[in-house]
Structure 1
Amino acid sequence: MSGSEEITRRRRKRLADECAEARVYRDLAARRSSADEREILLGLAEAEERHAAHWQALLGDEAGPAPRGDVRLRLLALLARNFGSVFVLALAQRAERRASRDAADDVDTTPAMVADERVHEEVVRGLAARGREQTSGTFRAAVFGANDGLVSNLALVIGVSGGGVAASTVLLTGLAGLLAGALSMGAGEYISVRSQRELLEASAPDPASRRIVPDLDIEANELALVYRARGMSTEDAQRQAEAVLRGAEARPDPTPDPRHEVVGTGVGAALSSFAFFASGAAVPVLPFLVGLEGLPALVTAMVLVGLGLLLTGATVGILSGGPPLRRGLRQLGIGAGAAALTYLLGLLVGGTIG
């Protein structure tokens, strides 16, 4: 391939990628319920279309028919059309990071376009952060539930097997571990989230106290002490108190504490934790349910749980903006270590009892 053909090929790829990114943002915008988020996403789409026009102008008559973008961007566009969730925004954030690097390395990209791509990554990061905050409580419970179910029940099944018991006993133990663990996880998550929300409510300012502000003595009052108690310096607390007194009549009621959205609800976290723990804990029991015994059953259980841990870790990686493979391997390593240790303990205990 000649140098000019390579330049044309590269420019066509860049044109295709910009068009694909614009489609992703327009499809995401069509599925957002917030007018503010729709406006932001449409603004990103228009920016990507400006970039596409730059490559179209460079190619001129060599642009040819509308090219297809990178396969990852086409998949992202498909997800955006059908889901439009925080999961898609997290993937879009990774795509913008790649686009930012590619733009910086391309000699035909203008400095303004490079700067645009950096800004786009931050915009998508902000939108994804909104979604992460809204789902973080339930998502945390789901991930912990699935991971705990996979690891703890595999460790339980392997540990009991290491003790040399019959396959029927292993199956009964695994099912009991599934039910007991799911109930325990659900109850624990409910209590944990409810307690956290109650602590936040106890620490939040009482909205009713704002109604007495207009009646305070402007020259002598303790309002500044309130702000000092919240950690402000003496000077800052005094300025804040004076500002509140000056605008007491016009100040709106306080908005709900956003930390409650991050924590989630007790019922949602409990149901999520119960369901995902049960799903994860069922995996190591499946080989025994279908009639496998001994080493074949254990190997099958370990392979299935390993795949589950990889999937769980990769999902966390995608939603957190990290590398999915590295997160998946980390989950797999931790789970394998716990299972191996439990199996060794089972061998030790079984040998001692025997």
Structure 2
Amino acid sequence: MDDVQPNRSAADRARWRRYLADERAEAAVYRELAGRREGEEREILLALAAAEGRHEAHWLALLGDDDSRTPRADLRTRMLGALARRFGSIFVLALAQRAEARSPYATEPDATPAMAADERIHGEVVRGLAARGRRRLAGTFRAAVFGANDGLVSNLALVLGIGATGVPSSVVLFTGIAGLLAGALSMGAGEYVSVRSQRELLEASAPDPTAREALVDLDVDANELALVYRARGMAEQEAIEHAALMVARVQAAGRVATPTDALAVASHDDEAVGTGMSAAISSFLFFASGALIPVLPYLFGMDGTAAIVTAAVLVSMALLVTGAIVGLLSGASPLKRALRQLAIGLGAAAVTYLLGLAFGASIV
């Protein structure tokens, strides 16, 4: 590679230095995250850091091992590093997933095809790690986010609709508080029932652990176990072959050491659902916290148009934050999700406000 170095322009060298800085920063991010993990996840993150180190060596070789005048990494990567040092959470993995997807190596003539392929695979690896974290958060977090959003939107709509009729601010305040309590209790109860029902469905679908005791006595020629696998979605031939293998293992092992995976199914559904009580509490608290925001101006003595505008501004800010958080965790654009959340929330509030104006005018 050194023989091409003297013929390259200053712009090429500057670009290589930027790539070198970014690779070093990305490797540092993965090492920071690895320091907060253990077991398999730690090993995966360290392997990603090592891969970024190989990319770093490529650019350093093109520069003739001269890393002087290497700039700082781009702002996004530096922010990612700062978040990894302070939090090391699922949010950082979601951001890292987006960073890997933005790799320029596919169109970079000085990057090798292996480097471009690495970056694409890195994105999938990080996506898998982020998915683990999302599954751990899914039940409680889903209840929290939707609870907060429902509280923000429903109580803003309620407060703006009542406020637009021209009733005294004390009426609006008590209406908002009533909406907060009623909505929070309803959300908490509904979430508890929903999660408990989902868990009961999963438990009903799980294999009976005592059924494997019958495997040792199965007829190899008939092999009823194949029907189990076909019922779970396997193709007929695949089910027959898999069942024959399982029966052979069971009969070779005997009753004492029956393979425990013969009837098992791999599933993360139970982990993702969460518990009914945690989901209910999260839903109640976050709905209440969201529903409190549009009531705040009236709690502090504001009334009329000033209170309505203040409530709308406060809720808009909160909707942008919750929308961005959902975007980060889902690996989507935080800005798009934030703006979508804002548009939906303000749209619903605008409808009730206009209805309040209409009813207020008819009453007058």
Considering the TM-score relative to the shorter chain, is it more than 0.5? yes
Task: Note the C-alpha offset of 1:67.
Answer: 3.5
1:54 is aligned to 58
Supply the distance in 2 between the matched residues of 1:231 and 1:21 (Cα, whole angstroms): 41
Aligned residue among 12, 19, 25 for 1:7: 12
Q: Conserved in 2, the CA contact under 8 Å of 1:8 and 1:62?
A: no
Supply the distance in 1 between the matched residues of 2:108 and 2:318 (Cα, whole angstroms): 39
Alpha-carbon spacing, 1:238–1:64, altered in 2? closer, same or farther (3 Å): closer
Deviations 1:136-161 (A, max 9, x none): 11221111111101100000100111
1:293 is aligned to 303
- Among all aligned residue pairs of Structure 1 and Structure 2, give the percentage whose two residues are the same amino acid: 64
What secondary structure is seen at the aligned counterpart in 1 of 2:9? Answer: helix
Task: Note the C-alpha offset of 1:215.
Answer: 2.7
**Amino acid aligned to 1:115:** A
Supply the distance in 1 between the matched residues of 2:225 and 2:64 (Cα, whole angstroms): 68
**Amino acid aligned to 1:297:** A
**Amino acid aligned to 1:212:** A
Check if 1:194 corresponds to 2:181.
no
Supply the distance in 1 between the matched residues of 2:93 and 2:284 (Cα, whole angstroms): 27
- TM-score, normalization: structure 2? 0.90
2:4 is aligned to none
2:278 is aligned to 268
2:5 is aligned to none
Task: Note the C-alpha offset of 1:219.
Answer: 4.4
Alpha-carbon spacing, 1:299–1:80, altered in 2? closer, same or farther (3 Å): same
Supply the distance in 2 between the matched residues of 1:341 and 1:255 (Cα, whole angstroms): 48
Task: Note the C-alpha offset of 1:297.
Answer: 0.7
Task: Map residues 198-347 of structure 1 onto 2, 5 A cutoff.
Answer: 198-220=200-222, 222-248=224-250, 249=253, 250-253=258-261, 254=264, 257-347=267-357
Deviations 1:294-324 (A, max 9, x none): 1011011111111111111111111111111
Supply the distance in 2 between the matched residues of 1:105 and 1:242 (Cα, whole angstroms): 50
1:72 is aligned to 76
Supply the distance in 2 between the matched residues of 1:289 and 1:247 (Cα, whole angstroms): 70
1:178 is aligned to 180
Structure 2: which 5+ runs fail to align? 1-7
Deviations 1:243-299 (A, max 9, x none): 221112452253774210111111221122112111111111111111111101101
2:49 is aligned to 45
Alpha-carbon spacing, 1:47–1:231, altered in 2? closer, same or farther (3 Å): closer
Alpha-carbon spacing, 1:257–1:322, altered in 2? closer, same or farther (3 Å): closer
Alpha-carbon spacing, 1:36–1:231, altered in 2? closer, same or farther (3 Å): closer
State the number of aligned residues: 349
Supply the distance in 1 between the matched residues of 2:339 and 2:35 (Cα, whole angstroms): 36
Task: Note the C-alpha offset of 1:347.
Answer: 2.4
Deviations 1:160-196 (A, max 9, x none): 1122211011111111111221121111111100100
- TM-score, normalization: structure 1? 0.93
Runs of 4+ in 1 over 6 A off after TM superposition: none
Alpha-carbon spacing, 1:103–1:240, altered in 2? closer, same or farther (3 Å): closer
Say what the alpha-carbon RMSD is for the aligned residues. 1.9
Q: Conserved in 2, the CA contact under 8 Å of 1:227 and 1:241?
A: yes
**Amino acid aligned to 1:77:** G
Task: Note the C-alpha offset of 1:65.
Answer: 5.3
1:20 is aligned to 25
Task: Note the C-alpha offset of 1:235.
Answer: 3.8
Aligned residue among 82, 87, 92 for 1:83: 87
Supply the distance in 2 between the matched residues of 1:57 and 1:221 (Cα, whole angstroms): 61
Deviations 1:3-37 (A, max 9, x none): 9332232221111100000000000000013x111
Q: Conserved in 1, the CA contact under 8 Å of 2:98 and 2:331?
A: yes
1:109 is aligned to 111
Supply the distance in 2 between the matched residues of 1:191 and 1:295 (Cα, whole angstroms): 40
Task: Note the C-alpha offset of 1:348.
Answer: 2.9
Q: Conserved in 2, the CA contact under 8 Å of 1:150 and 1:284?
A: yes
**Amino acid aligned to 1:125:** R
